[in-house]
């Protein structure tokens, strides 16, 4: 996941860092095992598109509408010119769709592993070098027990298979770092599906197992303090 002191200060920094380069500076410890052959986003490299919030004229319910193609030059695409648009509630890449509040997998520099986070916001950042707009998501991170192995805050002795802890750490990441969706489960639900927490032998079932995480506690990574177990 992201560094423990990562925060979303995109609105206060006078000089914005390149979101793509920033993604490469993350920690490499932790994460969940990922089979590269299990690609939810498909093999073709489709462009990411926004999904906007819209009000239905008939019943007032919210529905989503696709992003309209950009007609202005890249150099003229500034965030200030987009603030009047409808709120972004999701993103689409081919047939893959993710929305605010969903738990997703993000690519890690560590081969065969992904990080896990919750999408809290979609936004756009400008790459100052290329003067291009980068579609991004603000992520609230989970932390795995392995991330504490090399710190003074040691791994908990009661850590379960596939366990992750919810943090209060946020940062902005390009949509191109998204690698699929994860499923957060209670301890009882996880062990009901996977007795003793043992991974299944079937390749397809194992891929689904690796996307399931158990979350019982929150954690303050700096202080090494955990919340009480959630009901």
What confidence score (pLDDT) does residue 63 get?
Answer: 59
Q: Please, what are the domains in the chain? A: 10-226 (2.30.30.490)
Cα angle value 93/33/103 (rounded, 5°): 45
List of the chain residues with pLDDT < 50: 3-8, 10-12, 14-16, 18-28, 37, 55-57, 71-73, 75-84
Q: Give the count of alpha carbons within 13 A of 59, CB side only.
A: 3
Which ranges of 63-132 would DSSP assign to H, the alpha helix? none
Contact between 110 and 26 (Cβ < 8 Å)? no
What confidence score (pLDDT) does residue 7 get?
Answer: 46
What confidence score (pLDDT) does residue 121 get?
Answer: 98
Task: Summarize pLDDT for 100-154 with one digit per residue, the tens.
Answer: 999 999 998 887 889 999 999 999 999 888 889 999 999 999 999 888 766 666 7
């Amino acid at each position: 996941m992201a560094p423990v002191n990562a925060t979303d200060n995109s609105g206060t920094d006078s000089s914005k860092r390149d979101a793509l380069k920033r993604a490469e500076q993350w920690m490499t410890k932790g994460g969940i095992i990922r089979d590269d052959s299990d690609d939810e986003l498909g093999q073709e490299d489709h462009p990411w598109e926004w999904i906007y919030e819209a009000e239905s004229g008939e019943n007032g319910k919210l529905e989503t509408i696709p992003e309209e193609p950009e007609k202005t030059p890249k150099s003229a695409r500034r965030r200030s010119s987009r603030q009047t648009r409808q709120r972004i509630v999701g993103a689409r890449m081919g047939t893959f769709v993710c929305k605010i509040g969903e738990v997703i997998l993000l690519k890690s520099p560590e081969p065969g592993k992904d990080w896990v986070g919750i999408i809290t916001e979609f936004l756009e950042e400008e790459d100052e070098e290329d003067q291009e707009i980068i579609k991004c998501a603000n992520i609230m991170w989970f932390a795995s027990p392995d991330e504490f192995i090399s710190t003074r805050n040691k791994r908990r002795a009661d850590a379960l298979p596939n366990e992750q802890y919810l943090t209060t750490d946020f940062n902005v990441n390009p949509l191109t770092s998204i690698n699929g969706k994860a499923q957060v489960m209670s301890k009882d639900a996880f062990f009901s599906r996977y007795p003793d927490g043992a991974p299944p032998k079937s390749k397809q079932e194992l891929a689904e197992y690796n996307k399931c995480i158990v979350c019982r506690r929150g954690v303050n990574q700096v202080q090494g303090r955990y919340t009480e177990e959630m009901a």
